[in-house]
Every structure is written in structure tokens, then in C-alpha cells.
Amino acid sequence: MERHWYDVDLQAAAKEEALTRHDVMAHVHVFAQQCPAAAPIIHLGATSCYVGDNTDLIVLRDGLDLLLPRLVLCIERLADFAARHKALPTLGFTHLQPAQLTTVGKRACLWLQDLLMDERALRRVRGDLRFRGVKGTTGTQASFMALFNGDGAKVKQLDRLVTEMAGFASSFTISGQTYSRKVDVEVVNVLASLGATIHKLCSDIRLLANMKELEEPFEKTQIGSSAMAYKRNPMRSERCCSIARFLMTLPANTLQTAATQWLERTLDDSANRRITLSEAFLAADCVLLTLQNVVEGLVVYPKVIERHIRAELPFMSTENIIMAMVQAGGDRQVCHEKIRVLSHEAGAQVKQLGLDNDLIARVRADPYFAPIMGQLEALLDPTTFTGRAPDQVTEFIAEEVMPVVDSYKKEGKLNLNSAELKI
């Protein structure tokens, strides 16, 4: 048996399965032909789910071990982007309408925070995985009790040894013929949640690309549109959103499967799981690889951002102007009314005539504001409107991002680089 451990004859197994209509028994028959002395005891006391479910749990564990470093690598690269742009002011948007200023780096930290939550969720699910172990046909271990002449201690020892050999710390104490399909629900849910994070992140990039403030990588020879030669479509971000949207639909399958496991199990789970679990991991892998490529090559256009700020900042600066006038001895209510009238006039210029926002010019032309004329430039400095955003970025990366990244580096898990990516 040890000599034929890796001698898997897939063609012979396929022929057997065509006759038996049973995947596990097909391999049992082929193995028995390779090891005739062992043939009478191969699979003795076991059931197909001993093979299939334990294998699935190994695959789930190993799949998460592949995805987690990919996710953390994206986190590291995005953190570098956030740090480089932590102090660059940009318009914030609420309701997709211009709002108080933030910074480019601070916005990236919003994405990072969600990715960190996904890393924690994937790591938790991976840590919660247990082996099904040696439980027998309906989970009672009755067959193994017969094999060991009723010696329950030996049955437990066999269960423990097989579990340890498979690399798991523990196995389920209770199972039916299968491990609980709630495990699949938990695993696919966290993958789908990761998909939602990446969809939001890449949707933001697409919106910013529309505004020409931010752009994903775009090669010199890349074609954006077959018809419109000038186009620079964010196709990588669009691909992420497309596949992430598919990934987000998959938990419904796992929920249905868990809900319809009659009594100790039914077989209508099998074909569904083979598709759902595989595609969940493949989709998550795809969006993470593409996301890495995107965040490694993000391009920021500060001049465009500055132009957009200049168009909106006059309105946002009104509170600063009022405060400065009050400090110079003015009446707040009088100043407020002055600013209100001038703001409406400037707004009409922008909305009705399509002209630039000239609120500040109107303020300069009004003698009422003479006491603060020397302060206007300082009052309009965008960096004074971003609060603690730069410091928040620094603190967040140091206190929350880098401890996670460093833990993976310490374990030697971050071994991917951009050269491997052909997106």
C-alpha cells in the first residue's frame, strides 16, 4: 500500500466508475488491484464520506492557506499607497455629492479596514476548521467498535491519530454521515464577504476613474475601446466587480444545502458542493490576484483633484470665513446672511450659466469682509479642511495594518510578487 501511495491510475478508476457509478468505490477497486494482499481490508469499516468529507476539509483548509497570504499582500500594497498619499487633500463624497474634504490616503484606509476585517474572518474560519475523522457510516463509530472488539479507547485513539496525520488539531465529536454543512456556509460566507469588500473598493476606483482623479494600471499598448481610441476603461476593476458579484451569490447554495440535509444526510448536496466550493475559492483567488495588480499600479492625478477642490471649496470655506469675521469683531448673524446671499449668487453662476464658482471673488469685492482680506488665502488652504486624516492614516497603518502584515512576513507566507501576475 505504501509503495502505491501516489500511484493513482485515473484512467482505470474512470473505467471502474463507469461500471459502478461510484467514485470512491472505483478508486477502492483500483487500489485493491494494485495491492492484492490488502484488498480484503481496504476501506473496511469506512464509508465514502470518510474519504470525501475529510478530503474536503483538507482542501478547505489548504485553500484558505493560499488565499490569506494573497489577501495580506493586497493589504500591504494598499497600505503603502495610503501612506504615500496620506496628506493629499481630496473631496469627500456623501450621497455621491461633494462633502467635507478627506485625503486620498484616508479614503484608501476605508478600503483597508474592510480588507482587514476579511483577513480576520478568513483566519477565524480557518482556525475553526475541524476534521471529520474516523466516525463511520452514520457518525456512531459502530463499525470501528466492531473492528476493535468493543474497545472504545482504541477507536478514539484511531480517530485522534488519523486527525493528527491530516494536520488538524481536533476532529468533530459529533457528526452524521457528513460533517455539518454549516461549515461550508461559514467558509463561503466569508469568501463572499471578501467579494463584497473588493466590489466596493473597485467600484470606488471606477467612480474616481470617471472623475479622472485616480486610474488603475494602463499599459502603453493597451486598447480601451475598439471604437473610441481615447478611452481608458478601468477593465481590471470592472473584472473584479464582475467576479465578486458572482462570488457574492454563492452563499445561497450553501444555505440551501445545509437546510436540506435530511436526518443523517442526503446526497443532493454532493453535486452542488463540488461546484459551489470550487467556484467560491477560484473566484476569490481571481479577484485577489487582479486586485493586487490594481493596487500595485494605482495612479493619482493631483492636479485634477485640486481643480475639483477649487470648484467646491468656496462653499465649504464659508464656516471658516464666518468664524474669522466673528473673531475680527463681526456679528455672526449679519455675516451669515451676507455669505448666504453671495453663495446663492455664485451657485446660480455655476448651475445656470455653467461658469466657475466665483464666491471668493464676490467676498473679496464686498467691503464688509475687509477685516479678513489678509486671511483669505489661509482660510482656503485645503490642508486645513482635512482634520486629523493624515495622522489617522499613520496611526491606523502602524497600529492595525502592519501587525497583521508583519505576522505573515515572520511566518514566511508573503512570497508573491507582481512579476508573477499577468492580468
Q: Is 95 a catalytic residue?
A: yes
Task: Report the C-alpha gap between 60 and 58 in whole angstroms.
Answer: 5
Place of cell 464666518: 322
Distance in angstroms (rounded) separating the CA atoms of residues 96 and 334: 32
Q: How many residues does the chain have?
A: 423
Contact 172, 130 (CB under 8 A): yes
**Closest by CA position to 30, among listed 52, 13, 51:** 13
pLDDT at 419: 40
Question: 152 by DSSP, 3-state: which?
Answer: helix
| Residue 29 a catalytic site member | no
- pTM, rounded to two decimals: 0.87
pLDDT band (50, 70, 90) for residue 422: very low
**Looking at this protein, which amino acid is placed at residue 266?**
T
The single residue of 4, 22, 85, 95 carrying the catalytic annotation is 95
Q: Is pLDDT at 249 greater than 90 in this prediction? A: yes
Q: How confident is the model at residue 45 (pLDDT cuts 50, 70, 90)?
A: confident
* One-letter amino acid for residue 397 of the chain: I
Residue 301 dihedral angles phi and psi, to the nearest 5° = -115, 90
Of the candidates 379, 370, 361, the one whose C-alpha atom is nearest the C-alpha of residue 316 is 379
Packing angle of the helix pair 389-396, 48-84 (nearest 10 deg): 140
Could you tell me the pLDDT band of residue 231, with boundaries at 50, 70 and 90? low
Q: How confident is the model at residue 347 (pLDDT cuts 50, 70, 90)?
A: confident
Nearest by Cα to 53 from 128, 157, 139:
139
Per cent of the chain over pLDDT 70 is 95
Among the listed residues 43, 143, 175, 225, the single catalytic one is 225
Per-residue pLDDT band for 114 (boundaries 50, 70, 90) equals very high
Cα–Cα distances in angstroms (integers) from residue 330 to residues 156, 335, 369, 370, in the given order: 84, 7, 9, 11
Q: How far from 331 is each of 325, 365, 368, 370, CA to CA, in Å?
A: 8, 19, 11, 14
Q: Which segment of 8-17, 163-172, 334-343 scores lowest on mean pLDDT?
A: 334-343
Of 11-25, 34-48, 169-183, 225-239, which range is least confident?
225-239
Looking at residue 349, what is its pLDDT? 81
**Residue 173 backbone dihedrals phi, psi, to 5 degrees:** -70, -35
